Amino acid sequence: MHEEEREEGRGERGEQGASARTGRCERETGETKVRVEVDLDGTGCGAATGVGFLDHMLTALATHGSLRLEVEAIGDLHVDSHHTVEDVGLCLGEALDAALGDRAGIARFGHAFAPLDEALARAVIDVSGRPFARVEVPRDLLTAFVTPQFPLTLVGEFWRALASRARLTLHLDLERAVDPHHAAEAMFKAAALALRAAVRRVGRDVPSTKGSLR
């Protein structure tokens, strides 16, 4: 994130009534232009970010997170894909925050393991209102590339950005992997499954002894 950023629009709550869990965000800076819409109770994904592997991961997030995503991004890909990936994470985080509203009735906590062949990832989420993310990968994969456009480190950049704006606590660990593609996909799937569990409706009250998750 950079000082020269200019954001146009924050996450906005859907207008379909109190029961609708939808949110949107539009973000424009000198590096990217991003639009995101999310429906926590919908299905499907339309992703066009200019970063093919990110589109693939957003589809996995929508599928395994049981939500609907619409994402469009134009970024400075002549530089690299870092700004696009990070800013999509920021914008999606704002849209999720808007969709969650006062967070009443949700389970709040979620955790999941996801394997992909030799890769295994674990995600633990608390929709706490407190932004924090810790993303860990084995040392021997720190410099790995999924594609020439997508270093594995961008998985952490995406999820740290999302957690900061969605105001959730996330611990995402790659337990083991050999193939960087498998590593990244296992991490996205684990996070998607944990998010799905955390935002599911289980009652009416705000799940906090304080009475608020804002």
* pLDDT for position 210: 64
* pLDDT for position 207: 63
- Please compute, for residue 187, the number of CA atoms within 13 A of its CA located in the half-sphere on the CB side: 30
Per-10-residue mean pLDDT for the chain, 214 residues long? 44 52 97 98 97 98 98 97 98 97 94 98 96 97 97 98 98 98 98 98 73 65
Question: pTM for this structure?
Answer: 0.90
Q: Considering the domain 12-199 in this protein, what is its CATH number? A: 3.30.230.40
DSSP alpha helices (H): ranges in 71-166? 82-100, 153-166
Q: Going by C-beta distance under 8 Å and a sequence separation of 6 or more, which residues neighbour residue 174?
A: 119, 120, 121, 136, 137, 138, 141, 183, 186, 187
Which two three-digit tokens encode residue 183? 């590593």
* pLDDT for position 206: 63
**Euclidean distance between CA atoms 172 and 111, whole angstroms:** 10
* pLDDT for position 14: 44
* pLDDT for position 203: 86
Domain boundaries, the chain: 12-199
